[in-house]
Amino acid sequence: MVALVAGAAGGIGAALGEEILERYRLRRLFVVSRGEPPACFATQRVVALRADLLAPGATVELARSVAGFEARLDLVFNCCGLLHDGALKPEKSVSAIDAGALARLFAVNATLPALLARDLGPLLRRSPDAVFASLSARVGSIADNRAGGWYGYRASKAAHNMLLRTLALEWRHAQPRTVCLMLQPGTVVTPLSQPFLSARTREHAMTPAQAARHLLDVVERVAPADSGSFLDWQGRAVPW
Ligand SMILES: NC(=O)c1ccc[n+]([C@@H]2O[C@H](COP(=O)([O-])OP(=O)(O)OC[C@H]3O[C@@H](n4cnc5c(N)ncnc54)[C@H](OP(=O)(O)O)[C@@H]3O)[C@@H](O)[C@H]2O)c1
């Protein structure tokens, strides 16, 4: 198997990369991160690639680099995402909506996965049974939005789901052996979620390693007919 994890220095991305290394007889694992890759990836089977995937041409360049090593990819996991950083906080009210912040959230959470799928798609197509999985969030569900708030993050994850659902429909004809999934990892203790975990939610939150095991279990259970699904970490459909 040849696998690639994007966002491999993030909480869930690093754990997924480790779990993939442990679970499969891999020919190669590509890990993609902006900064230094975690030390656990310093093994012969891993190729660490450094990239800001939103830089112009970055996903085209990534596909070229992968193709320099391998003719195909069997599993791609996109674990990149943005909820907050120094300058950006989830909006509690419409008065907090900011055009620049919205544009950044859409770029990381929706545009980046679509570009990744566009440019790695031809490598996935060469696999007899490939999976492209991208981490979404339950708060991106329009039907399930009962709490409100977090305008930009919610909307960018809804856009993520629409882009990848549309792609899955195209791939059904163009490359029917590639399954495209949107996955909700559950509540996981990572730098992304930490500032928003109450004592109660923290009690029930998963470690990245637990989440990674569940997510790979889900990926192992899917069939081509599941392509285009939005599934949680237990494999249950999440309402759109
Ligand atoms: N944690 C949760 O409870 C939870 C719940 C629901 C959904 N999710 C989703 O799960 C995914 C992973 O989240 P996480 O909790 O593991 O968050 P995290 O630890 O903050 O990881 C996010 C990763 O995205 C990467 N990234 C952001 N912009 C990028 C860019 N332009 N180019 C390349 N990489 C970029 C970051 O890279 P750097 O390391 O360089 O910053 C980081 O590694 C996200 O999509 C998130 O929305 C998480």
pLDDT tens-digit readout, 41-70: 999 999 999 999 999 999 999 999 999 999
CA 54 to ligand 1: nearest atom:
31
- Say what the pLDDT of residue 63 is: 98
- Say what the pLDDT of residue 55 is: 98
- Say what the pLDDT of residue 132 is: 98
Closest C-alpha residue for ligand 1 atom 21: 10
| pTM for this predicted structure | 0.97
- Say what the pLDDT of residue 190 is: 97
- Say what the pLDDT of residue 149 is: 98
Measured in Å, residue 173 CA sits from the centre of ligand 1 at 31
Measured in Å, residue 27 CA sits from the centre of ligand 1 at 26
- Say what the pLDDT of residue 156 is: 98
- Say what the pLDDT of residue 168 is: 98
Measured in Å, residue 82 CA sits from the centre of ligand 1 at 6
Closest C-alpha residue for ligand 1 atom 17: 192
- Say what the pLDDT of residue 30 is: 98
- Say what the pLDDT of residue 41 is: 96
- Say what the pLDDT of residue 38 is: 96
- Cβ distance 55 to 32 under 8 Å? no
Residue ranges per structural domain of the chain: 2-232
Domain at 2-232, CATH class = alpha beta
Segments of the chain scoring below 50 in pLDDT = none
Closest C-alpha residue for ligand 1 atom 8: 137
